[in-house]
A and B are shown apart, each in its own frame.
Chain A
């Protein structure tokens, strides 16, 4: 049973470019969460999605960041016009039920974004 898949594992962008991060949840999981880890910091929640719905985006920056989880295909975290402060590791997690339950969130290996 494959775990949570994320690609690319490493992404380098120049300031002003767009970054697209992909996450394929574990088989049978329909809930996806995105977290960001800044250097020397813990993980910070960004957004929680179910298929075709954004459930909670309270951790998302108001501008330049967006996320989707279409009916078919992976979840996408998109960062437009990247700035150096966006450099971080972005982790995706999935669960079989929403975070209203005790169901465990399983994490992917992360995408490490570097903005030059």
Chain B
């Protein structure tokens, strides 16, 4: 069975500060990992995905994430937060063996001016 743990249901950063959203996964097979962003009353938009290629993945809006197998982590980072980054962020895992996306509970990011 697969699972995702997102540490911190709410993270608050100042505009221009580093954004770090944590995600740890559990999977019995090599995972595919995803970060999605959800703005209020909208659907989910894919930020980036890891599919066993490069361990450092660059996504949209300046976000990136690094797959660390030894730590079973896939943390999301952005060097400098912008007000428009305020949203809910979800980490998700899937495998090659006919399993659906398994989501974490999400982290709400607030950006303070």
> Contact residues of A with B, CB < 8 Å?
4, 6, 33, 35, 40-45, 48, 56, 59, 91, 93, 98-100, 102, 104-110, 112
**Which residue of B has the minimal Cβ distance to A3?**
B43
A-B contact count (CB 8 A): 62
List 11 additional contacts besides A42-B103, A43-B103; criterion CB under 8 Å: A45-B102, A56-B98, A56-B100, A91-B43, A99-B98, A100-B96, A102-B51, A104-B34, A104-B46, A107-B45, A109-B42
Closest to B9 in A: A40
Chain B neighbourhood of A93, CB < 8 A? 44, 101
Chain A residues in 8 Å Cβ range of B103: 35, 42-44
Instruction: For the complex formed, measure the closest distance between the CB of B33 and the CB atoms of chain A, giving whole angstroms.
Output: 11
Can you list 13 A-B contacts with CB-CB less than 8 angstroms, sorted by A residue number?
A6-B43, A40-B105, A42-B106, A45-B100, A91-B44, A99-B98, A99-B99, A99-B100, A104-B34, A105-B46, A105-B101, A107-B43, A109-B42
